[in-house]
Amino acid sequence: MAALRAQGALRMGGSLGLSVAGAESNVAIGLARLGHRVRWAGRVGADELGALVLRTLRAEGVDISHAATDDTGRPTGLLLTEPRLGTLTRVSYYRAGSAGSALTPADVLPALAPGTRVLHITGITPALGSSAAKTVLAAATTARETGVTVCLDVNHRSRLWTADNARTALRPLLAHTDLLIASEDELPLVQERPDAEESEAARDLVAAGITEVVVKRGARGATVFSADGATHRAARQVDAVDLVGAGDAFVAGYLSGLLDGANVLERLHRAVTTAAFAVATRGDWEGLPTREELGLFDEPDGTTVR
């Protein structure tokens, strides 16, 4: 979708910056910058905002050959962001009836070509409508049946749907999920026993067939639960500028490590590093690092790279 970013409260007017946003797009760009081959499957409107989305993805090295343009008049989705208090940002969505809400299996399944290693999906797409929800389930089912690793980031958006509706749509996806990613407050949406303690809930999910459960803890890092136990990694210390997109940057780093064959601790290290880049810069994806830049956090403060 397109994103309009305000410098202050929207009700006060002023200028807006135009860019592109979307959890899956952020992850795709993050992985492409880290040197991986990535394709994006989705639907945009036959409008200038849709052209901006496709142009941005293409410019970032993402394969958009499976992107569909809606020819029925549905517009490209839109969000507005406004800073309200420090790093607290308020987001308003305009996605009802958007092109993305009409996503179909025919739009997505051809992207699961031979050689595909990972399918990344989020809990945002099913929130857009019944067609989009059915498409996500069809993609996850097909990917799992063909040996593709399925990564599901819960990514709950309370302004798009209720917790009960999210739970109803997301729980069936778990049977086709290999890697589950959720923040601490999102995990109850997918666990079998909503009142279970976190480690118990993670063990239940692993016992049900999920290989890894990754719990994002923001400034406190992240924990991976698997059959081998729990592994924790602290966050990288950085002055926070903009928290929007940090979770997607984390996912891009974690999947990058997975694709490189790194172990869990190495994956977490890359994930918290890419997340730190996102937090330290404005925008959802603009500050994400290339592979060559991953080592910049290990340079002393005040270093000038010449």
| Domain spans, the chain | 27-42+101-288
Does residue 298 carry a pLDDT above 90? no
* 120's tokens: 């990344």
| pLDDT computed for residue 86 by the predictor | 74
Mean pLDDT of 232-238: 93
**Highest mean pLDDT out of 167-176, 242-251, 276-285:** 167-176
Q: Is 140 exposed, middle or buried (0-12, 13-18, 19+ CB in 10 A)?
A: buried
Average pLDDT, the chain: 94
How far is the C-alpha of 49 from the C-alpha of 45, rounded, in Å?
A: 8
Report the 10 Å Cβ neighbour count for 90.
Answer: 14
Percent of the chain whose pLDDT exceeds 90: 81
The string of pLDDT tens digits covering residues 60-98 is 999 999 999 999 999 999 999 998 887 788 889 999 999
Q: Is 212 exposed, middle or buried (0-12, 13-18, 19+ CB in 10 A)?
A: buried
**Confidence class of residue 143 from pLDDT cuts 50, 70 and 90?**
very high
Mean pLDDT of 187-207: 92
| pLDDT computed for residue 242 by the predictor | 79
How far is the C-alpha of 299 from the C-alpha of 297, rounded, in Å?
A: 5
Query: 271, 254 in Cβ contact below 8 A?
Result: yes
From the candidates 248, 284, 298, 301, which is the catalytic residue? 248
Rounded to whole angstroms, what are the CA distances from 125 to 94, 101, 170, 226? 13, 8, 11, 26
Classify domain 27-42+101-288 by CATH architecture.
3-Layer(aba) Sandwich (3.40)
Does residue 227 carry a pLDDT above 80? yes
The string of pLDDT tens digits covering residues 246-264 is 999 999 999 999 999 999 9
| pLDDT computed for residue 67 by the predictor | 97
Q: With CA atoms as reference, report the closest residue to 254 among 284, 221, 279.
A: 221
- Known catalytic residue: 248? yes
| pLDDT computed for residue 165 by the predictor | 95
| Contacting residues for 43 by C-beta, under 8 A, at least 6 apart | 67, 68, 69, 70, 99, 100, 102, 103, 107
Q: Cα 218–220–223 angle (5° rounding)?
A: 90
